Amino acid sequence: MPAVFALADDVALRLVETGDGVALSTALTRNAEHLAPWDPIREPGYATTERQEDFVAEMRAQFATSSAAAFVLTDGAQVIGQATVSHILRGPFLSANLGYWLDAGWTGRGLMTAAVGAIAEFSRDDLGLHRLQAATLERNEPSQGVLTRAGFERIGLAPRYLQIAGTWQDHVLFQRILE
């Protein structure tokens, strides 16, 4: 994947950069209601520029040690989505978790499907991974659609897997073998 990957005419995918905190804060504030049913309950101040700049710094530090890779989807200076490859484990596992969200105004255009495809290639070619895993709520059909279109397969149901919106909820697990 090039440093800036074109997903559509004006929409790009790239690794997070220092200074993205402002645009991330704006996007998360604008999308608070859209994301709340699918996210853990966020601590007060989560969407502030300061906290998002902390997130960027942490992700860049983890990228430097090959522990994670965080991406933004951008439309010019605006952040319209975000995706993170996290918890990279090496040795015989060579696997990581994938999470993502898209601005409510940018859904329905195939952008996250294209982003996940590019991130899978990046995970194989640049991070040297064998496998990506993603977990969705059973009712999150849009997210399951993204994963299926991007070449992931359903591997099972994990009971009470993640605490989402304040409740431990069952999740459908998906994986993509990258080679």
Ligand X SMILES: CC(C)(COP(=O)(O)OP(=O)(O)OC[C@H]1O[C@@H](n2cnc3c(N)ncnc32)[C@H](O)[C@@H]1OP(=O)(O)O)[C@@H](O)C(=O)NCCC(=O)NCCS
Contact between residue 72 and residue 59 where contact means Cβ atoms under 8 Å apart: no
Strand partners, 82: 72, 101
- Contact between 38 and ligand X by CB under 6 A: the answer reads yes
Among residues 91 and 159, whose Cβ is nearest to ligand X? Answer: 159
Task: By CB under 6 A, name the one of 107, 133, 169, 175 that touches ligand X.
Answer: 107
- Contact between 143 and ligand X by CB under 6 A: the answer reads yes
Task: Tell me, letter by letter, the H, E, C secondary structure of 82-133.
Answer: EEEEEEEECCCCCEEEEEEEECHHHCCCCHHHHHHHHHHHHHHHCCCCCEEE
Task: By CB under 6 A, name the one of 13, 52, 136, 174 that touches ligand X.
Answer: 136
Which x/- pattern over 46-75 shows residues binding ligand X (rule: CB under 6 A)? ------------------------------
Amino acid letter for position 41:
I
Task: By CB under 6 A, name the one of 76, 108, 156, 159 that touches ligand X.
Answer: 108
- Residue count, binding to ligand X (CB under 6 A): 19
- Contact between 142 and ligand X by CB under 6 A: the answer reads yes
> Which of 104, 113, 112, 96 lies closest to 178, judged by CA?
96
